[in-house]
């Protein structure tokens, strides 16, 4: 990829609790180019939000990177001070989170919250006029009414539109959208996702769309990264990865889609992400890697480290679609 906006290079993140260390992200690498709509998919607890948070320096207090780099336009953000990260967030990297109510301040009218963001990043323009224009851009019919409203007076879908307006307010180069539609009614999920993507394309904004729902990723993203137990196990152009998945976990995710299971066929349970298991959790489903997986010694006695070791060793030959054309 020429001149990527974001390069995550062999990132490891661990949590510390009562003196014990638990690895949450293991050797994660991911590139995003300017304007690219990239997807990150995996089951709950696989580390998607942890990765999204690590990009903008928003990891929970108990969690920290232990090695690797997060290069933003070539600058390693893991070496940046909080003041630099705070300036970057909003201005260049914006976030849209799952639950709009928790991302908004319930004690401030929406117009005030929008103009605060606009003024903080100093675009110089009339903040009120800019806010009203942004509300119109997210297809809100009566921007003035929403500008004057309190967060609790809006529906979840409308609140998420306001947060999308806020995210675009400073024309960021990247939006990290962490399950942006999961908390919404099914009927508005598609509208909000379509809006987010349309604005991103219009402004040339790159998006890292985080979702547990592979059908959302399939519909929205040019590239996909599949995450399991803190690792990216497969990556590539969405059509290539989902059209011909190479990793058994990707195949298992696709098999979970409604309509995919054959009539009367049994749904096979996914291997548990946190369970202790020697060798590769997928060896029974992965003939190409079977022998190596069997021989691979587990890295540790607890957690899925045995599986991780295996993926680490055969990932490049079996699960990368690099260079694949759609």
Ligand X SMILES: Nc1ncnc2c1ncn2[C@@H]1O[C@H](COP(=O)(O)OP(=O)(O)OP(=O)(O)O)[C@@H](O)[C@H]1O
Question: Considering Cα of 35, then 39, then 45, then 51, what sign does the dihedral take?
Answer: negative
45 binds ligand X (CB under 6 A): yes
Rounded Cα distance, 71 and 133, in Å: 33
279 binds ligand X (CB under 6 A): no
Among 48, 159, 225, 247, binds ligand X (CB under 6 A): 48
Q: Which is nearer to ligand X, 143 or 230 (CB)?
A: 230
Minimum separation from the CB atom of position 204 to ligand X (A): 27
Rounded Cα distance, 123 and 228, in Å: 40
Among 7, 9, 12, 15, binds ligand X (CB under 6 A): 15
Give Cα separations from 46 to 91, 187, 240, 320 (angstroms). 28, 27, 22, 19
Strands 93-96 and 174-178, by their bridges, are: parallel
Q: Which is nearer to ligand X, 15 or 136 (CB)?
A: 15
What one-character-per-residue DSSP string does 147-215 give? HHS-GGGS-HHHHHHHHHHHHHTT--SEEEEESTTTTS-HHHHHHHHHHHHHHHHHHT-EEEEEES-HH
Residues in Cβ contact with 256 at an 8 Å cutoff, skipping those fewer than 6 apart: 214, 267, 270
62 binds ligand X (CB under 6 A): yes
Q: Which is nearer to ligand X, 47 or 298 (CB)?
A: 47
Rounded Cα distance, 206 and 174, in Å: 5
Question: Considering Cα of 188, then 166, then 38, then 58, what sign does the dihedral take?
Answer: negative
Among 28, 38, 63, 241, binds ligand X (CB under 6 A): 63
Give Cα separations from 191 to 28, 37, 164, 221 (angstroms). 32, 17, 12, 16
Minimum separation from the CB atom of position 206 to ligand X (A): 20
Which residues, in sequence order, are bridge partners of residue 232? 227
Q: Which is nearer to ligand X, 61 or 152 (CB)?
A: 61
Minimum separation from the CB atom of position 63 to ligand X (A): 5
100 binds ligand X (CB under 6 A): no
Q: Which is nearer to ligand X, 45 or 156 (CB)?
A: 45
Minimum separation from the CB atom of position 200 to ligand X (A): 21
Minimum separation from the CB atom of position 28 to ligand X (A): 11
50 binds ligand X (CB under 6 A): yes
Minimum separation from the CB atom of position 37 to ligand X (A): 19
Choose the stretch contacting ligand X; rule: CB under 6 A; options: 29-37, 46-54, 117-125, 232-240. 46-54
Window 196 to 255, contacts with ligand X (CB under 6 A) = 212
Minimum separation from the CB atom of position 92 to ligand X (A): 22
60 binds ligand X (CB under 6 A): yes
Among 4, 38, 46, 175, binds ligand X (CB under 6 A): 46
47 binds ligand X (CB under 6 A): yes
Helix or strand holding residue 305 (H, E): helix 305-318
Interacting residues with ligand X (CB under 6 A)? 15, 24, 42, 44-50, 60, 62-63, 212
């Amino acid at each position: 990829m020429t001149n990527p906006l974001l390069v995550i290079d062999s990132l490891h993140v661990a949590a510390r609790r009562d003196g014990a260390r638990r690895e949450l992200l293991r050797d994660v690498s991911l590139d995003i180019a300017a304007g690219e709509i990239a997807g990150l998919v995996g089951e709950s607890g696989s580390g998607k939000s942890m990765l999204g948070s690590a990009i903008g320096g928003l990891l929970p207090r108990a969690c920290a990177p232990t090695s690797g780099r997060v290069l933003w336009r070539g600058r390693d953000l893991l070496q940046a001070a909080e003041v630099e990260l705070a300036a970057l967030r909003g201005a260049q990297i914006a976030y849209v989170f799952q639950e709009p109510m928790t991302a908004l301040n319930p004690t401030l009218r929406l117009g005030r919250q929008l103009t605060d963001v606009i003024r903080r990043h100093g675009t110089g323009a009339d903040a009120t006029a800019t806010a009203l224009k942004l509300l119109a851009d997210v297809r809100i019919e009566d921007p003035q009414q929403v500008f004057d409203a309190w967060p609790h007076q809006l529906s979840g879908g409308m609140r998420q539109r306001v947060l999308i307006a806020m995210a675009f307010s400073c024309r960021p180069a990247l939006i990290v959208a962490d399950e942006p539609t999961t908390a919404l009614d099914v009927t508005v999920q598609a509208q909000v996702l379509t809006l987010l993507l349309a604005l991103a394309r219009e402004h040339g904004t790159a998006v890292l769309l985080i979702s547990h729902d592979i059908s959302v990723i399939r519909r929205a993203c040019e590239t996909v990264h599949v995450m399991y137990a803190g690792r990216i196990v497969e990556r590539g152009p969405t059509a290539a990865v989902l059209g011909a998945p190479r990793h058994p976990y990707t195949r298992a995710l696709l098999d979970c889609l409604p309509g995919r299971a054959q009539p009367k066929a049994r749904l096979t349970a996914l291997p548990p992400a946190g369970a202790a298991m020697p060798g590769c959790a997928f060896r029974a489903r992965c003939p190409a890697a079977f022998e190596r997986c069997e021989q691979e010694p587990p890295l540790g006695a607890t957690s899925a480290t045995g599986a991780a070791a295996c993926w680490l060793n055969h990932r490049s030959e079996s699960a990368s679609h690099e260079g694949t054309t759609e």
